Each structure stands twice: as structure tokens, then as C-alpha cells.
Amino acid sequence: MFLDPLYLILVGPAFLLSLVAQGWVRSAFSRWSRVRHSGNLTGAEAARRVLRAAGIHDVRIEPTGGFLGDHYDPRSRTLRLSHQNHDTPSVAAVAIAAHEAGHAIQQARRYPALALRTALVPLAGLGNIGLLMVMAGFFLQALDLVKIGTLLFGTIVAFQIVTLPVEFDASRRAMAMLRQTGIVSGDEAVGARRVLTAAAMTYVAAAAAAVSQLLYFALRGGLLGGRRDG
């Protein structure tokens, strides 16, 4: 499958985009994590200030492991920041923390796309099962198994697509609150924007990869255009 010319044509560009996006976000984070925030705010402190300005007082903020493992859990209303962002007073830490606070604001404002993405999380697990079914189907030359697996894999694609507006909106809210509260301005605002833009591209790349894989599975499985060998 991986040496199939059609696979290389469809999925190859998305794979390259993913590599570029990962390199971009690491470069932006590395650059702006070395720039100390002028107000000496850590990511955790910036998140608290953003949430407080938005009238949100029931969200916990806690450190978590992993490089850039920052995320917001809407079920427990917990904002988790990687140690390098939770405890570091850098422009990058402030930007990422504000972005995660943006998700908490989305939940408080009942942003529909966030609710939809949260609902899709359990279903997205079926997509992993679907991917295994597709791989097994190709290996066993069982087209029916490929078709069923492709349909299940579609749940991952739906999740990735819905994620895009959620992430873009969270970054928009983050920048608005950072400026409104005076946390960043001038060059710091430019840096925060660059960090968030680079991070957003990783979601674009993930969505592109998922869509291109789904298209390949659908074509080779006969769901689109009939069965094509070669």
C-alpha cells in the first residue's frame, strides 16, 4: 500500500505538510520560549488572568507531562499545561496558555463546534479500529473489510475537520483576550501570534492527512470510482 503510486500522490503531500508544520511549530516555540515575558507572567498566571477577565472562575489549572502536551479538558473543566509552559514566564508559554484558556471560554460561551468535537471524541476511537480493518483488508484482499474499515475511519476525519474551527477560534479568542488584558503588546503580540499560527498549521496538516488517507481507502476499496488496481 505504502509503495502504491496513488498512495504516494494522495498522501505524500499531506505527509510532507505534516513535517513542515511540526518543524514550524517547534521553531516558533523555541524562538519565543527564549523571550521572557515583559510582565514576568508564567503560562499558568497568564491563563488565570485571561479566565478571570472572561468571568470564568471554576476552571482548574495544573501542570502535565510531555513536550507541548497542553490541552483543556471540558469534562473536568481542567486546563493542563506542560511544565515548560506552566512555570515559565515566556511569550510562547503565555500564548499557548491563553489558547487553552480560549477553549474554556468556548465552553462557557457554549461554542457549538466545541460541543460537537467533544461529542465526537468517543466515536473517533472507532476510527482507529477502522484503520486496522483497512490494513487487514488490504493484506487479505478482502474488499468488504476495507469498505467497512473506511467508513469507520471516517469518524477520525470528521473529528479532524471539526477540530479546525475549534482551534482557530480558540486562538482568535486568545489573542483578543491577551490584548484586552494588556498581557501582550507590540513585539510580544507578534510573537504570540506566530506561535499560535504555527500551532494551528499542525491541525491543518493532520486534517489534510486524514482526508487524503480516507480518499485513498475509498478509491482502492471501491467506494469511489470502483476498484482500481495498480
Sequential pLDDT tens for the chain (230 residues): 667 899 999 999 999 999 999 999 999 999 999 999 999 999 999 999 999 999 999 999 999 988 888 999 999 999 999 999 999 999 999 999 999 999 999 999 999 999 999 999 988 889 999 999 999 999 999 999 999 999 999 999 999 999 999 999 999 999 999 999 999 999 999 999 999 999 999 999 999 999 999 999 999 988 887 554 44
What are the phi and psi torsion angles at 142 (to 5°)? -110, 95
- In a 3-state reduction of DSSP, which class is residue 20? helix
Q: What pLDDT does residue 229 have?
A: 47
Q: Which of 26, 187, 188, 207 is nearest to 98 (CA)?
A: 188
Asked, for residue 229, whether it belongs to a domain, the answer is no
Q: Please state, in angstroms and rounded to a whole number, the distance separating the CA atoms of residues 204 and 50.
A: 26
Q: Please state, in angstroms and rounded to a whole number, the distance separating the CA atoms of residues 144 and 146.
A: 5
Asked, for residue 9, whether it belongs to a domain, the answer is yes
Residues with a catalytic annotation lie at: 100
Determine the structural domain holding residue 209 and report its residue range: 5-220
pTM of the model: 0.90
Q: Please state, in angstroms and rounded to a whole number, the distance separating the CA atoms of residues 197 and 168.
A: 9
What is the count of structural domains for the chain? 1
Q: Would you state the cell numbers that stand for residue 3, as one nine-digit string?
A: 509503495
Asked, for residue 169, whether it belongs to a domain, the answer is yes
